Every structure is written in structure tokens, then in C-alpha cells.
Amino acid sequence: MNGVTVSAKVNGDAVQYVCPADESLLDVLRNRLNLTGVKEGCGTGDCGACSITLDGRLVCSCLVLGAEAEGREIGTVEGLSEGGKLHPLQEEFIEKAALQCGICTPGFLVAAKSLLERNPNPTEEEIRYALAGNLCRCTGYDKIVRAVQSAAKIMRRGKKVAR
């Protein structure tokens, strides 16, 4: 195998892997690092099921080569919970029944977290635009939007308490 050796950080942990030069970061995460939260829907950047953050930017991991990740910081859905406690977005997705089959959910969670970091109080329209790169064939999106609104509210309240 004409492999590339890569050192990166995934959800804060240092990782090292060897992959073929043309292997996607999506396949690296799933098959080499066993992070199967990241899903392959389309493989062409249309559905957002493979959404991750790369150095803090939301991207589709199917459109990144594993070889490109040298020295980069990767964030996946596995990094959302802290010490076994679910992230407010995860709690609210469950509470508001914002999923059915669940394939799109990790991508929606990562994309929604990225949105709320940039904009803690988005309007419904802003949420729908920000999540336009994530496709869901079960929910009709409405419950997902409600869950994000509800999580945003909880997170804003949490910040006030923390202060």
C-alpha cells in the first residue's frame, strides 16, 4: 500500500494512522479509528451525514482526504457528550423526537453545534439555512428545528448561570 502516515487530533485525543493517499477522511474515521458516528450518505457532499469539524470549521468528511488531516484538529459527534453527559442538542433531539432512522442525526448534531457556537440565538430561518446542507428523509425537518431552538435556549440559560 502506498500509504500516508498522518498524526492528528480527534475530539482532543492524539491519533496516528496510515491510509492510502486517495482514502477519504470519512473512511479513515469509520474504518481506521472506529468512529462510526460519522455516516456516509451520498459521499459527494450533498447530504451532510458525514459532517465533522476540521480546525473548527464545519465540513463534509467525505470531501476531505485522510492525508490532508496531518496536524489538524477533527471534531466528530463522539466529542459532543462530556463525561457521559449528553450535549443539550442530543438531549433535545431525544426530547423533541427529532429523529427516526438516525442516519442523518450525527451530521445534524455537529452542524447545529457549529451554528450555535457562531450564533447562540438563531432565528428559525437562520437555523433552516444553516442546516440546508444536511438532508433528513424521515422527520420533515420541523422537529429538528424545534430541537435546535430548544437546545439553544437551554445553552443560553446555562451560560447565564455559569456567569
Partner 1 sequence: MRFESPTTTKAAATLLASESGIAHVLAGGTDLLVRMKMGAIEPDLIVDIKRIESLRTLKVAAAGVQIGAAVPAVRLSESEKLRNLWPGVVEAANLIGSDQIQGRCTVVGNLCNASPAADSVPALIAAGAKALVVGPKGKRRVAVEKVVLGPGRTSLARDEFIEAVVLPARTGKSADAYLRFTPRTEMDIAVVSAAINLTLSRGIVQSAKVVLGAVAPTAVVVPAAAKALIGSKLDDAALDKMVAACRAACNPIDDKRGTIEYRTKVAGVMARRAALIAYERAGGSK
Residue 85 CB, nearest approach to partner 1 (Å)? 27
Question: For residue 16, with 0-12 CB atoms within 10 Å meaning exposed, 13-18 middle and 19 or more buried, which class applies?
Answer: exposed
The angle, 0 to 180 degrees and rounded to 10, between the axes of the packed helices 142-162 and 105-118 is 40
Nearest to 29 by CA among 3, 66, 56: 66
CB 157 to partner 1: min, Å: 25
Min separation Cβ 72 and partner 1, Å: 10
Cβ count within 10 A of residue 68: 14
Q: Which is nearer to partner 1, 34 or 44 (CB)?
A: 44
Closer residue to partner 1, CB minimum distance, 9 or 95: 9
- State which residue, 54 or 148, has the beta carbon closest to partner 1: 54
Residue 64 or 99 with smaller CB distance to partner 1: 64
Distance CA 88, CA 91 (A): 5
Q: In the bound complex, what is the minimum distance in angstroms from residue 65's beta carbon to partner 1? A: 7
The residues that touch partner 1, with contacts defined as CB under 8 A, are 2, 4, 20-22, 24, 43-46, 48, 51, 54, 57-60, 62-65, 67-68, 70, 111, 114-115, 129-130, 132-134
CA dist 72 and 157 (Å) reads 32
